[in-house]
Amino acid sequence: MPASGNHPMARRSFLAGAVVTAGAIALPRAAVAQATSDSVHRLLVLASQNAFAKLTAPNGFWASRVARFGLPVLFRKTPSNASGPLGKDSFRAELQHRLNILAETGARGAAPVVAEAARKLTVADPAAILQGKPSAATSQLRLEMSSGLVNAMIPPLEKALAAAQDPIVAQAVAALTGVALKDVAHAVALTADNGIWYEIGKAEAEIRANPQLSKDPALIAALRPATPAAPAPTAPSPAS
């Protein structure tokens, strides 16, 4: 009589049990992966919300040590404009301030675009991001969005420029040949881009440093430092 382990029915029963066991192991892992991915999304959404709340407040860019930006390359000093307003330091300082104020409008237009990208970000290794550098999630989102932030800022900036009819900006544009307001909007968006990402990264680092401030239990749990396993007790040496 053949051994029961070699019986076709026995083999089928064993294989079925193996599949069930494998499924029981895989499901928790998938659930953990989903939870860590959700935590990255929560972290990014909150960080971007905090950053844009600061940048869209009055003097948001100007008051930020990481987001304030200098004059775009478009307004650089050249021999051809040195005798005009762009050649005067006082005018340039005022123009820089006006453009930083203008950037608040661009940030308002970009905020929902960034939040949506944060919610939909595909995260290949969420655990590595959660355990990574203070701005690891921001870096991943910036890489994913590419020029998306700049593109989202340009339309509201162009509308704001047209509506404001700012005399300082108008003088600066008049001093340049072939420059229109859309060029100014593009230049401001490009220049403000770095500052916005720095502000989001800073906000992410602040959340990581004090997750309790997020008031999000899932995020707090995900960012809680891992507790090292207690060493196993050492068996006493036998008496000599």
Q: What is the DSSP string of 67-127?
A: T-----GGG---TTTTTSGGG-HHHHHHHHHHHHHHHHHHHHHHHHHHHHHHHH---S-HH
Closest CA to 188 of 158, 162, 159, 164: 158
pLDDT over 80 at 229, yes or no: no
> What pLDDT is attached to residue 47?
98
Closest CA to 66 of 84, 78, 81, 54: 54
pLDDT band for 26, please (50, 70, 90 cuts).
very low
Q: What is the pLDDT of residues 197-207, one digit of tens each?
A: 999 999 999 99
Q: What is the pLDDT of residues 54-99, one digit of tens each?
A: 999 999 999 999 999 999 999 999 999 999 999 999 999 999 999 9
Cα distances from 77 to residues 109, 167, 177, in angstroms, run 30, 19, 13
pLDDT over 70 at 18, yes or no: no
pLDDT over 50 at 36, yes or no: yes
- Distance from chain centroid for Cα 50: 11
pLDDT over 60 at 232, yes or no: no
Who has greater pLDDT, 119 or 28?
119
> What pLDDT is attached to residue 221?
93
Cα distances from 181 to residues 86, 102, 163, in angstroms, run 16, 12, 11
Closest CA to 138 of 120, 109, 111, 118: 118
> Do 203 and 51 contact (CB within 8 A), yes or no?
yes
pLDDT band for 116, please (50, 70, 90 cuts).
very high
> What pLDDT is attached to residue 16?
40
